[in-house]
Amino acid sequence: MTSSLREHTAIFGGSFNPPHSGHVQAIQGVLKNPGVRRVKVVPSFGTPLKETGVSYEHRLAMAKAAFEGIAEVDEIEGEHRIEFTWQLLEVLKGRGEPLAFVIGSDQLEALPRWRRFPEVLNQCDWIVLARKPGGLDRAARAAAELATGGILIGTENPATYRTRNGKTSLYLCETGAPELSSTGIREALALKHKESVGGLIPSGALEYIERNKLYGT
């Protein structure tokens, strides 16, 4: 466990379109490595870099069903009509608790495309979840590129970087959570191949999908 994150709330954002077992295992993993006080799931109200396809209300309800008993689902993005991560972090800072925002290796690579980059890195600590196989190497390369550009500063620990303001850090953490495709799951459901996604969608979320006839079910 990374001692500096023991009192942090990890913010686990995403479109959750739909939520799947990879999300569940990633949340459970964050509680162990790097180790945080709790995890809050924050479904995105609007995702600028990709289309969600299903309404925020449906995705919020699916997340609540999927993560019940595992993590709290926060409606903050819908309440504040948030579009960008920097806006979310600005609102969350007002709650007065230490925060760590969770992203994947692919999102670390895409960070330079984020609105208000690199200033957004100064708003909280960051946890980069690197999935096996190869995720940690991919994350390390992306972090090294940011360090070469002066955005991050390396430390004695090769998995830990400081941000330019010296007040926040970025941690590379390997996870055993599988790399699952929400797109592939949606396509399978649309083709009535429910059996092919068996076990990939938490039962509560799958029941909600079928009850509301989402994704062509």
Cα-based angle 212, 19, 88 (whole degrees, multiple of 5):
110
pLDDT reported for residue 51 = 61
**Low pLDDT (below 50) residues in the chain:** 1
What CATH number does the domain located at 3-179 have?
3.40.50.620
pLDDT reported for residue 1 = 42
Q: Is the dihedral of CA 5, 6, 8, 9 positive or negative?
A: positive
pLDDT reported for residue 196 = 83
What pLDDT digit, counting tens, does each position of 61-89 carry? 999 999 999 999 999 999 999 999 999 99
Contact 42, 22 (CB under 8 A): no
Phi first, then psi, for residue 210 (nearest 5°) are -70, -40
